[in-house]
Structure 1
Amino acid sequence: MSRSAAALIAELRERARALGFDAFGIASASARPDLEGKLLAALDRGWHGGMEWMRETAPRRARPENLWADVKSVIMVGINYGPETDPMERLADNGLANISAYARMRDYHDVVKGKIKELAGLLARRAGAEVKVFVDTAPVMEKPLAEAAGLGWQGKHTVLVSREFGSWLFLGAIFTSAELPADAPHPESCGRCTRCLDICPTNAFPAPFQLDARKCLAYYSVEHKGQIPVEMREPMGNRIFGCDDCLAVCPWNKFASKAREAKLQARADLEHFGLADLLALDDAGFRSLFSGTPVRRLGWVRLMRNGLVAAGNSGDRRHVGRVESFADHPEPLIRGMAAWALKKLDPERARMRKARALANETDPEVTDEWLA
């Protein structure tokens, strides 16, 4: 590495730290020629579920050069968002509407993008190079590129794992036409540990380092557009947005406290957000409460769909009246999950409600919920 290149990289690293990034590394744009084959194999097996955009963008996602022909190097950065409390303990409280750790704070797209644009601007000025920034908004395979850049390795749960930050890193990418000296890739360091695979309540991992979204609770609670499949409802427990299980049990998380000053903080009101609070929330209240968080993108209807599943799983009959009130809601997603939850919480009340519901029902899926 020339003295000028070394000085540039040192300046970029220092600026990244000042901006609040906890991890920084550089990879060659061509560092992972294996990605295309792995991506296409996963798509052929249908592991993307209903996320058809993954198939549609596969040619651009497979190689950085397919997304931008002029890219020579990729700078990967990460911000630690390790939660203060153990996400697994939250699952035992059926009065809690459990939101994944990353979504109980300001939307990471907004947090990372402003910072990474500033870092990219510095690179462009110093190197006279073109730059493009990406924060989970384009077909970029951030995790394997972060592995190539030395930030960590893709664990058996397919999430990036860091020796310093465990499974809790938000990632961002800077593509540049500058040819920068690359960092050494991080070796896979999971060893014989299978905690992330063993904890999954729905067996979403066909094998280590492989994820089938069609069995993943995070997929169904966040990406899925329809009714929650019957076999996924009880495993969802009180999870209303996302699932942290496989991340939370990673042994490397014990080091994630090293960057407490830099990491993002969860909102106190979402840390203690109750199921009763959720069921009382209307659309306007939803928009106000979740403004600026990833939950906002889900929409009130699908969040309430998830909340009704959680209500059915809670066993708390105090929710019966509110759940029944949703049986006449205009949205089929809500009516269907209300029927299921009511039958779980109060079978006799559901039996008395059934005839009236079926007489007025026009949606076949909701009809099936009452008849099941």
Structure 2
Amino acid sequence: MDIPHWLWFVTIAALVLVVLLDLLIVDRKPHEVSIKEAAIWSAVYVVAAIVFGVGIWYFSGSTFAGEFFAGYVTEKALSVDNLFVFVIIMSSFAVPAIHQHRVLLIGIVMALIMRGGFIAAGAVVIDRFAAVFYLFGIFLIYTAWKLVKSGDDDSFSGDNAALRAVRRFLPVTEKYHGSKSFVRIDGKRWVTPMFVVMIAIGSADLLFALDSIPAIFGLTQEPYLVFTANAFALMGLRQLYFLIGGLLNRLVYLSIGLSVILGFIGVKLVLHALHENNLPFINGGEGVPVPEVGIGVSLTVIGIVLVVTTVASLIKVRRDPSAIKHVEKPPSAPEADGEGTAPAATPTEDVEDGGASGAGRPGRSEEGGGDRR
């Protein structure tokens, strides 16, 4: 698939435009996202992905279109697991509901930028070392086994390396100041919990990329398709968070379904590596005549696994309500700052970034939500 530089530029520019429009239109006035709004925007992103895939089919053929759709569906399925962690992060940091959309948007944009680096590095490694498919395949099979063995591990300690770095080198206030990420108090610049939770969302998603990026490379080796599938899946993830938040607890077999998908793609990668083998200690450096899994089979398997997982989960919780996983939801109303504005400032407080009339001191507050320094 020969992708000209101008198409990469147009694609990235379109993505930036979507983010800007989201910030200027959807998030212009902070508000709690309703189910109806989330459903509309989710449909918009899904339709956009379908139209994009049809465009690939028209200009580049059915094979690449199939690879895009397989990658998109896989990334979408794997991203659902991210939502559990997002719910826990939002709850841990007590993010006011009216600001959750903005937090997700900025956090996911950060994650997409970092994933772009992963994808570029992966493409270079694959181009130079075809044997890396052995490593990808074995890693995915191991991840699948570990996921089945440990079950749904949706815990979030709030203390990963990125957050430790933020708290170590930057002063963090104890409470939110509207939607601001930075404030100036008594002449000193402070980071708010809003910035910290964005780092948490972005870094948590980056950890998920460690298995999703190798998984999609198992479906297509085209960097452009890998990147665009990730972009469509991640940009629609925010609306999915609000749309199926209540359903997440009922997907009790999600980890099993995802482990099957990861294991399947891992085996597919190993078979592909054997078919293209150039390692001298395997079959004398020649390709091994093993069957390869086509993209049509991949799409079918992924689709069936997702449907069976969802249906089986809903049947299970209907028969046994105690099986529902209890994940604490974030507060439905802002706790730290009324209607999204910072509390009134004392005369010595000088808050930057406009908007609210001031901000409280960075001390412990009964009103403030969830900064966990």
Q: TM-score if structure 2 supplies the norm length? A: 0.29
Greater share of strand: 1
Greater share of helix: 2
The answer to which structure, 1 or 2, has the higher relative contact order (CA under 8 A, 6+ apart) is: 2
